[in-house]
Amino acid sequence: MSTLIKSAKSIVPLLDRVLVQRAKAEAKTASGLYLPEKNVQKMNQATVLAVGPGFTDANGNKVVPQVAVGDHVLIPQFGGSSIKLKDDDEVVLFRDSEILAKLNE
């Protein structure tokens, strides 16, 4: 059953999950040539849209995610759970431990 979600705001991550939206790759080269959509690569940079509350480990310690809403992060090229939104956008759910790095600007 494939259901389109209205918007990313209606998705609330659980546990240590992080909802991100990939940065859009440029569809135009530096010299001004437009690239076909199928040739535009997925970028591994993303913006964090929502973060779960964390979880309690086996020792009873609270483990909170290392990122916050609005952070710019590096994500793996593949993986995560893709979610299609109604307006043809796509967001991806990752575990906090799968996020590679935070980008400082």
The answer to whether residues 18 and 96 touch, using CB atoms and an 8 Å cutoff, is: yes
Confidence tier at 2 by pLDDT (50, 70, 90): very low
Domains of the chain: 8-103 (2.30.33.40)
How many other β-carbons are positioned within 10 Å of the β-carbon of residue 91?
22
Closest by CA to 43, choosing from 67, 68, 26, is 26
Whether the per-residue pLDDT at 15 is higher than 70: the answer is: yes
Range of lowest pLDDT (27-36, 59-68, 69-78, 92-101): 27-36
Q: Which residue has the tokens 């590679």?
A: 100
Give the contacts of 61 (CB within 8 A, at least 6 positions apart): none
pLDDT digits (tens, 9 = 90+) for 71-94: 999 998 888 888 888 777 788 999
Confidence tier at 5 by pLDDT (50, 70, 90): low
What's this model's pTM, rounded to 2 decimal places?
0.76
